[in-house]
Homo-oligomer: A and B are copies of this chain.
Amino acid sequence: MNVREQAQIAKKAALRLMTTSSRERDGALVAMADALVERTGEILAANALDMEAARGAGRPAAMLDRLSLNAARVEAMAEGLRKVAALADPIGGEDFSLKRPNGLSIGCRRVPLGVVGIIYEARPNVTADAAGLCIKSANACVLRGGREALNSNAAIVNVLTGAVSGGVFDGAIQLLCDDSREGAAEMMKLNGLIDVLIPRGGASLIKSVVQNATVPVIETGVGNCHVYVDASADIGMAADIVFNAKCSRPSVCNAMETLLVNSAVAKTALPAIAERLKAKNVELRGCERTRAILPGALPASEEDWTCEYLDYILAIKVVDSVDEAIDHINRYGTMHSESIVTADYANAERFLDRVDAAAVYVNASTRFSDGEEFGFGAEIGISTQKLHARGPMGLKALTTIKYVVRGNGQTR
């Protein structure tokens, strides 16, 4: 089947899914979870083929780790589906309703987006995760995973769809058969069939989707996050937050990449922070003023201010005011997550008001930008655009609205 045919099947399924009850959808998710566990053997056999090919092609260890499945990882996928099933239904309620002077009653009802396209890398767990979130929110999905995971993804989708076949969910989960680059390019232009595309993965994947798609896109993920240590900061708190934001998981988008320190406290704060970062051998790249205080730091170039290292590397710049910090962040940041450490009320509010980012923090680590940490229960990704969804996206990001208008013969 070609890409368009699969999207057409998904669209038909989406029109049926619109009217499913949450009981039906949650039941489907539990059945899918059970099937994943029962049929673990099939999935691992398919994954072994992918792993063998990836090893043969000399893929890097990090990719092999993301690609590889075992019984515990399959069980984790199943557990993820059960958790999503237990969340509140995002569909069918009304954001508001109003009555007009002419008697028309207007309700703003939450409805599914329709067909959600997801383009991702060679991580088979995303297949179950994305399909589960779409089913929960009554959306059909078209999945295009990394080619290295094709056998694993096909086995997972086969198990998921097998668990609910012969009913309203038929056709709702489409894994692209055509795994060519042309297939992905075609998927990005299926206006009228795919309602939204969500790329999940690295910066180059996301950029390619943003550049090439004509279907509406939700841009996710790239995070050049900053922590600014204000003149009034508690230095111990600043060191804790910087250490956590940089080192607790450097490979993720909410990890910090650049430290900004007020010149009034740089001489005490920088050595204290550098001392903490030694535990993880973090490479420091500083401006001239930083290097005068930390002679071990390498010189930072203009490129360092824009870089998402995703590694144990930290750029450091000394600034003279909260406004200089704000300007730096608004200039070089990716509007993801930004934090100020301060004891000063006016500077805290100024930072919250003026930094243009999805999540802005006072005295907390940027690492909290996460659907689970925000209490949303599930996360589809972290939007770095301003349209439709911004920051950690819960199930609501997979919905839209429909105005439901009830009259008794009104004309205009």
Map CB proximity to B onto A82-116 as digits: 1 under 8 Å, 0 otherwise.
00000000000000001010001010000001100
Q: Chain B residues with Cβ under 8 A from A217's Cβ?
A: 216
A356 to B404 alpha-carbon distance, docked (Å) = 11
A411→B367 contact, CB < 8 A: yes
Question: Which chain B residue has the least Cβ–Cβ distance from A327?
Answer: B15
Map CB proximity to B onto A231-252 as digits: 1 under 8 Å, 0 otherwise.
0001001001101110010000
A405→B367 contact, CB < 8 A: no
A354→B15 contact, CB < 8 A: yes
Interface size, A (range): 35 or more
A46 to B19 alpha-carbon distance, docked (Å) = 55
The residue from B100, B196, B357, B362 contacting A406, defined by CB atoms under 8 A apart:
B362
B364→A410 contact, CB < 8 A: yes
Question: Which chain B residue has the least Cβ–Cβ distance from A16?
Answer: B354
Minimum distance in angstroms from A229 CB to a CB of chain B: 13
A288 to B135 alpha-carbon distance, docked (Å) = 41
Is A52 part of the binding interface, using a Cβ–Cβ cutoff of 8 Å?
Answer: no
Q: Chain B residues with Cβ under 8 A from A51's Cβ?
A: none
Map CB proximity to B onto A181-208 as digits: 1 under 8 Å, 0 otherwise.
0000000000100011000000000000
Q: Chain B residues with Cβ under 8 A from A388's Cβ?
A: 387-388
A392 to B407 alpha-carbon distance, docked (Å) = 18
Is A385 part of the binding interface, using a Cβ–Cβ cutoff of 8 Å?
Answer: yes
A392 to B100 alpha-carbon distance, docked (Å) = 15
Is A214 part of the binding interface, using a Cβ–Cβ cutoff of 8 Å?
Answer: yes
Tell me the A202-235 residues at the B interface (CB within 8 Å). Answer: 210-211, 214, 216-219, 234
A368→B240 contact, CB < 8 A: no
A269 to B353 alpha-carbon distance, docked (Å) = 59
The segment out of A24-32, A61-69, A258-266, A395-403 that lies at the interface is: A395-403
Map CB proximity to B onto A357-379 as digits: 1 under 8 Å, 0 otherwise.
11111111101110001110000
Is A330 part of the binding interface, using a Cβ–Cβ cutoff of 8 Å?
Answer: yes
Given A113-B386, A368-B104, A400-B387: A330 and B15 interface contact (C-beta under 8 Å): yes
A218 to B385 alpha-carbon distance, docked (Å) = 13
The residue from B245, B362, B374, B407 contacting A407, defined by CB atoms under 8 A apart:
B362
The residue from B211, B361, B402 contacting A214, defined by CB atoms under 8 A apart:
B211
Minimum distance in angstroms from A86 CB to a CB of chain B: 18
Is A58 part of the binding interface, using a Cβ–Cβ cutoff of 8 Å?
Answer: no
Is A409 part of the binding interface, using a Cβ–Cβ cutoff of 8 Å?
Answer: yes
Question: Which chain B residue has the least Cβ–Cβ distance from A354?
Answer: B19
New A-B contacts (8) at CB < 8 Å, excluding given A98-B375, A387-B400: A18-B354, A106-B375, A216-B219, A216-B387, A364-B406, A364-B408, A365-B412, A374-B403
Chain A to chain B contacts (Cβ below 8 Å), 30 pairs: A15-B330, A15-B354, A15-B356, A18-B356, A100-B375, A114-B386, A191-B210, A196-B387, A218-B387, A244-B412, A248-B411, A357-B402, A358-B402, A359-B402, A359-B403, A359-B405, A360-B404, A360-B405, A361-B405, A361-B406, A362-B405, A363-B406, A364-B406, A364-B407, A365-B410, A365-B412, A367-B411, A386-B400, A387-B388, A392-B403
